[in-house]
Amino acid sequence: MTTSGGPLLRPVDLVAETLRGRTDVFAVTGATGWFGTVAMDMLYEVLGNEAEERVVGYASRQREVSVADGRSVTVRALGDLLTQDPSPTVLLHFAFVPRDRVTVLGHDAYVRQNISTTATVLDAIAHHRPGHVVLASSGAVYSSTGRLQSDLAGDPYGTLKHLDELAFRAGTRDAGGCCVVPRVFSVGGPRLARPDVFALASMVAMAEAGGPIDVSARGQVFRTYCAVDEVVALSLWAAVSGHDVVFDTCGTAVEMGDLARAVALEHGLGRDAVRRTWDADAVDDRYVGDGRSMVALAARARLHLRPLDALIRASAHR
């Protein structure tokens, strides 16, 4: 597939083109989570042997992880970010306690943990002054009224994401850098994670087990899906290119039953492999963003955005 500017690029190829001729040093927080792992995979693939000197991953504690090419990588404790040497010129911030942990930790502990992470990384930005920062936010920053979330008691996840956006954009600007904030709605693709939480991951797991695929939603539920590596690669390109921007992730809105049937088809299962119980009184659930800005950025970057069937194939566990 080509455009007037040349062939469209895979996410990893966009990263390679973005970094060609550059000598950036990277810090990747949340390096053991889904977004962080995908970022580490692409950086190690693009930078090859130089990655060991130019890429440092961070998590809640030091540990060994494997990147996609099989190399073992030491991920440092987040508290070590302030002393990274040489200082990172690019910071990819994906560390955040996920929403489902609120009930496990309790409201106050959940808020404290996330604020502590935010403070640590903001301190590092002020110290290192990276020129390019990516902060993964969430579609949950939008309240039911469409305004930005401000109910810390009722929705600590969405509210803290909103506050992170404000703090990191201001902190990066004060340090003289460029901050890119993707507001992530629904994603799939490489390293598909958490079938206990995410609908697509659950459907793929059931399909790979031979079916059936059970759709738990009893009413119409709509989501927009793009690929995790597309979000990471495009955000990195935008930050390095000086596009100080906040954007919703894109994708065609799909109802969960249609998504399940698409997953079944890609795994060679019949339409009768999808099972669902309907509730005529259930209220429609729409968690979709306005993806036009991401589509426009992708066109400028010449990034190929996968259609849904290709995204499902990319989400398979191999």
Domains in the chain, ordered, with CATH? 2-187+225-250+290-307 (3.40.50.720)
Structure confidence at residue 2 as a pLDDT band (50, 70, 90): very low
The pLDDT, as a whole number, for residue 317 is 74
Residue 61 neighbours by CB under 8 Å, 6+ apart: 77
Mean pLDDT in residue range 34-48: 98
Q: Is the pLDDT of residue 255 over 90?
A: yes
Mean pLDDT in residue range 111-128: 98
Q: What is the pLDDT of residues 139-173, one digit of tens each?
A: 999 998 889 999 999 999 999 999 999 999 999 99
CA pair distance 272, 131, nearest whole angstrom: 52
Mean pLDDT in residue range 237-254: 97
Q: Is the pLDDT of residue 6 over 80?
A: no
The pLDDT, as a whole number, for residue 193 is 87
Q: What is the pLDDT of residues 272-316, one digit of tens each?
A: 999 999 998 999 999 999 999 999 999 999 999 999 999 999 998
CB 239 within 8 A of CB 89: no
Q: Is the pLDDT of residue 5 over 80?
A: no
Mean pLDDT in residue range 213-235: 97
